[in-house]
Amino acid sequence: GQQLNQSPQSMFIQEGEDVSMNCTSSSIFNTWLWYKQEPGEGPVLLIALYKAGELTSNGRLTAQFGITRKDSFLNISASIPSDVGIYFCAGFGGSQGNLIFGKGTKLSVKP
């Protein structure tokens, strides 16, 4: 079945640094979603992308829908300790059009 390859698997950064993570797929997606999950909680939607080439910001977060429709990236600028969590990309695909998730990027921020 379709898979999303999300990288890096984990990141350890200093407070104030910028962060970049990405997702790639072997097939085309029509929608890309980025979620953040904190320990013991459900994922929270950060950004939704619907058009190839679309660049969308949400505060210090910026995400782009790749022009090939097979990739997306998420940037976090000037990281702070509360950015800690697992970030998931997701796209609609599969034989039934279901939402497919990457395995997540675990972000740790050192004050």
Catalog residues that contact another protein under the rule CB under 8 A: 1, 4, 6, 30-31, 33, 35, 40-45, 48, 50, 88, 90, 92, 96-104
The backbone region for 39, taken as left when phi is positive above 0, alpha when psi lies in -120 to 50, beta otherwise, is beta
Residue 61 CA to residue 56 CA, distance in Å, equals 8
Nearest-approach distance from CB 25 to another protein, in angstroms: 13
Nearer to another protein, 12 or 14 (CB): 12
Selection from 93, 72, 74 nearest residue 85 by Cα: 74
Nearer to another protein, 73 or 91 (CB): 91
Nearer to another protein, 14 or 82 (CB): 82
Nearest-approach distance from CB 15 to another protein, in angstroms: 25
What phi and psi values does residue 81 have, to the nearest 5 degrees?
-55, -35
